[in-house]
């Protein structure tokens, strides 16, 4: 079963919802409960947990799993998150998810606290960073672990994580087999998270920041693509097509924010950028780095960062609809959804729209605007466009389908997800073998027995069409 790369979509819907709630857009939601959607977006992460689950885990059909991860190499790699609908842990997208979740807390932590969601968000971050710290335990010996599980074998089986029997092979990069993309993203995740825990857990924050610096040094000192080093262990699933320069930029930007050490700014200035992006994803971080760095120019009026402000605004002009920006390179469906690529399009919708809302926040703080051609773009322009995308995802679309599982009455019932589509161990404690899952559950039209609350699926086609079929992984995998 082939599949294209993707990520944990709910992180971005979570960020978008926070932005809309903070800006007061919830009052104009037209019957959509943004707070409910926010709560469910965070719950999703609990459904993706690997390892020893706490009694507080709110996805009650999940149980402990993969408790021996790393044992082949005599290292503890238990924990972290499973990727999408699979039982593999890919550190590259997982680290990116942790980075973005930390960014959400840094930008909207007060709003999260007022909605009693801040601790849940911190728990979601810590579940990832605890695992990532384990992966860096042998860094002094020149080894960084970057994933667990054989993706080829995993795709040949349809099993619950609780009783899977596919190989739990650990993968790592070294000075001789480098992986600058995944290492720099791991550093970014730790640096961003160190800011989240700086007040609530100073010791943990210090440990994260110290490790982030070490991992970033490793990423930069031993340059090379982890796809070249690990090949079939990560490709075609999470090959990095944009190279590793964007991750080095991204990682350095987060370390600059966490430390205010100007050596990172000098490093950032030396990175060459090839072209101007119109995508932001687990693979291509340029636009995210531009928006992150633009805060110094927009909010702090620091001229050293003007180039990143310009890059951020060029990106906004490239992704807004044509009637707002003549320079747009982005297609929209007849129903109004941003459409970038046919495979798992919703990941681009949510990630790009998040950057819109974040940049809107920055320019709102200084009451500034920018231009796309002759059209003035204000914070209201960006927030309005973001709200359109969120509302489409939550059900205001031609299909009247909520693309968030468990939100509203009409949402996907047959998502491409192993744990959700198979009976829980509580409902059926017998071991379900590799092929049994395919025969009796995957290849059926039955609705999934377990609701993966908060999951965002791949989404509709360029014509707003959607088929709720488990085998349709481009549209149904979370």
User: 25-29, 455-459, 463-467: which has the minimum mean pLDDT?
Assistant: 25-29
234-284 pLDDT, tens digit per residue, is 999 999 999 999 999 999 999 999 999 999 999 999 998 777 899 999 999
44-90 pLDDT, tens digit per residue, is 999 999 999 999 999 999 999 999 999 989 999 999 999 999 999 99
The residues spanned by each domain of the chain are: 10-476
The pLDDT-based confidence of 9 (bands split at 50, 70, 90) is low
User: 303-307, 327-331, 439-443: which has the minimum mean pLDDT?
Assistant: 439-443
- Could you confirm whether 416 is annotated as catalytic? yes
Overall average pLDDT of the 433-447 stretch: 92
Q: Which of 416, 417, 431, 443 is catalytic?
A: 416
CATH fold of 10-476 reads Glycosyltransferase (1.50.10)
Please state the pTM of the whole predicted model. Answer: 0.96
The pLDDT-based confidence of 8 (bands split at 50, 70, 90) is low
Which 3-state string (H, E, C) describes the chain?
CCCCCCCCCHHHHHHHHHHHHHHCHHHHCCCCCHHHHHHHHHHHHHHCECECCCCCCCCCCCCCECCCCCHHHCCCCCCCECCCCCCCEEHHHHHHHHHHHHHHHHHHHHHHHHCCCHHHHHHHHHHHHHHHHHHCCCHHHCEEEEEECCHHHHHCCCCCHHHCCCCCCEEEEECCCCCHHHHHHHHHHHHHHHHHCCCCCHHHHHHHHHHHHHHHHHHHHCCCCHHHHHHHHCCCCCCCCCCCHHHHHHHHHHHHHHHCCHHHHHHHHHCCCCCCCCCCCCCCCHHHHHHHHHHHHHCCCCHHHHHHHHHHHHHHHHHCCCCCCCCCCCEECCCCCEECCCCCCHHHHHHHHHHHHHHHHHHHHHCCCEEECCEEECHHHHHHHHHHHHHHHCCCCCCCCCCECCCCCCCCCCCCCHHHHCCCCCCCCCCCCHHHHHHHHHCCCCCCCCCCCCCECCCCCCCCCCCCCCCCHHHHCC
- Where is pLDDT greater, at 426 or 19? 426
């Amino acid at each position: 079963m082939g599949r294209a790369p993707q990520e944990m979509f709910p992180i971005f819907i979570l960020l978008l919802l926070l932005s809309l709630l903070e800006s007061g857009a919830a009052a104009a939601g037209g019957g959509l409960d943004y707070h409910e959607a926010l709560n469910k977006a965070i719950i999703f992460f609990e459904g993706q947990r690997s390892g020893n689950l706490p009694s507080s885990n709110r996805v009650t059909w999940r149980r402990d799993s993969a408790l021996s991860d790393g044992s082949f190499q005599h290292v503890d790699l238990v924990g972290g998150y499973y990727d999408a609908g699979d039982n593999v842990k890919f550190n590259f997208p997982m680290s990116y998810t942790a980075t973005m979740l930390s960014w959400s807390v840094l930008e909207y932590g007060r709003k999260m606290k007022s909605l009693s969601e801040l601790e849940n968000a911190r728990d979601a971050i810590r579940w990832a960073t605890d695992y990532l710290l384990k992966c860096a335990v042998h860094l002094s010996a020149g080894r960084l672990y970057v994933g667990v599980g054989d993706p080829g074998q995993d795709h040949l089986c349809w099993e619950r994580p609780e009783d899977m029997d596919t190989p739990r092979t650990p993968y790592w990069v070294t000075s001789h087999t480098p992986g600058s993309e995944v290492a720099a993203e791991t550093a970014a995740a730790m640096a961003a998270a160190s800011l989240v825990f700086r007040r609530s857990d100073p010791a943990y924050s210090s440990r994260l920041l110290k490790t982030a610096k070490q991992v970033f040094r490793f990423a930069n000192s031993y340059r090379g693509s982890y796809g070249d080093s690990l090949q079939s262990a990560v490709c075609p699933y999470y090959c990095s097509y944009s190279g590793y320069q964007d991750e080095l930029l991204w990682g350095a930007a987060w370390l600059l924010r966490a430390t205010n050490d100007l050596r990172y700014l000098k490093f950032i200035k030396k990175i060459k950028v090839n072209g101007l992006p119109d995508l932001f994803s687990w693979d291509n971080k340029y636009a995210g780095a531009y928006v992150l760095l633009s805060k110094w120019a927009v909010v702090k009026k620091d001229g050293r960062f003007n180039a990143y402000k310009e890059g951020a605004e060029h990106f906004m002009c490239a992704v807004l609809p044509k009637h707002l920006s003549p320079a747009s390179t982005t297609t929209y469906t007849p129903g109004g959804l941003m459409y970038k690529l046919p495979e798992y399009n919703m990941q681009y919708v949510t990630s790009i729209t998040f950057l819109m809302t974040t940049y809107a926040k920055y320019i709102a703080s200084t009451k500034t605007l920018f231009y796309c051609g002759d059209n003035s773009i204000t914070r209201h322009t960006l927030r309005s466009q973001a709200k359109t995308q969120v509302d489409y995802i939550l059900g205001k679309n031609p299909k009247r389908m909520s693309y968030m599982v468990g939100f509203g009455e009409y949402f996907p019932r047959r998502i491409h997800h192993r744990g959700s589509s198979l009976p829980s161990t509580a409902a059926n404690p017998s071991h379900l073998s590799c092929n049994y899952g395919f025969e009796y559950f995957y290849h059926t039209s039955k609705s999934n027995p377990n609701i993966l609350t908060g999951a965002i699926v791949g989404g509709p086609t360029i014509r707003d069409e959607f088929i709720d079929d488990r085998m349709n992984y481009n549209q149904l995998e979370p």
